[in-house]
């Protein structure tokens, strides 16, 4: 299992459009992928679940990956979040 702390930088936070882009990218990996924010952990491959976190600009999240492609997943998804 790998994990990385990331601060949401998008001016409008992780609203529907960037969250949908993230979910689409996350689904390309076999590994289990979760996001934890403010004590709540969700499946990062679910757009609905991501939206329940209310991720605004400046929010700290913990991205976790676990599985055969965990290293590639965490590296790629970190870049995706930082570009959104």
All structural domains of the chain with their residue ranges = 2-83
pLDDT tens, residue by residue, 8-60: 999 999 999 999 999 999 999 999 999 999 999 999 999 999 999 999 999 99
Does the pLDDT value for residue 84 go beyond 90?
Answer: no
Let me know: does 70 contact 63? Beta carbons within 8 Å.
no
Residues with active-site annotation? 15
- Average predicted confidence (pLDDT) for the chain: 96
Judge: domain 2-83, CATH 3.30.1340.10.
Answer: yes
Answer yes or no: pTM beyond 0.85: yes
Residue environment code for 35-62, b if the CB has 16+ CB neighbours within 10 A, otherwise e = bbbeeeebebbeeebbeebebeeebebe
Q: What is the DSSP letter of 45?
A: T
pLDDT at position 49: 97
């Amino acid at each position: 299992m790998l994990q990385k702390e990331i601060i949401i930088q998008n001016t409008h936070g992780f609203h529907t459009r960037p969250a949908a882009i993230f979910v689409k990218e996350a689904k390309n990996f076999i590994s289990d992928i979760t996001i934890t924010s403010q004590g709540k952990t969700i499946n990062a491959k679910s757009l609905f679940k991501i939206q329940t976190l209310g991720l605004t600009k400046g929010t700290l999240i913990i991205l976790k990956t676990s599985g055969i492609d965990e290293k590639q997943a965490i590296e790629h998804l970190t870049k995706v979040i930082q570009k959104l």
